[in-house]
Homo-oligomer: A and B are copies of this chain.
Amino acid sequence: MSGKLNLDEKFSLFADHWRPKVVASLNGQDVKLIKVQGEFPWHHHDDADEFFLVWKGTFRVEFRDHIHRLNPGDCIVVPRGIEHRTCADQEAEILCFEPGGVCNTGNLADETFTAHGGVKI
């Protein structure tokens, strides 16, 4: 019927960067965990706002005209249509809320970074 999950346990199950893992789905939305390190390409999502919560580490959300630096407990909404990229100098762990089926690179097809769909863990 329903079960609890633990974020640290779920993060321990994978090591790859920039590959979102779906840990829960509800109301057409996904709850995803992402390990990040390095620099993600610039992109936007035409039809999806994204919510990020930093669970561990330090994370940057960069827009063309300003940068947000986020630490654990910091959150941000990236509105649909707004070009952005995400970066982390060292590995960070991120929780993301967004509609089910969103592609991580949005309008961009990138050989390295695009991860279609969501892998459930």
Contacts and interface: CB of A to CB of B under 8 A. Distances in A.
B73 A24 contact: no
A40 interface: no
A70 interface: yes
Contact of A27 (B7, B49, B73, B95): B49
Interface in A16-72: 23-24, 26-27, 29, 31, 48-51, 53, 61, 63, 68, 70
Contacts of A70: 4
Contacts of A50: 26
A29 B31 contact: no
A27 B76 contact: no
Contacts of A73: 6-8
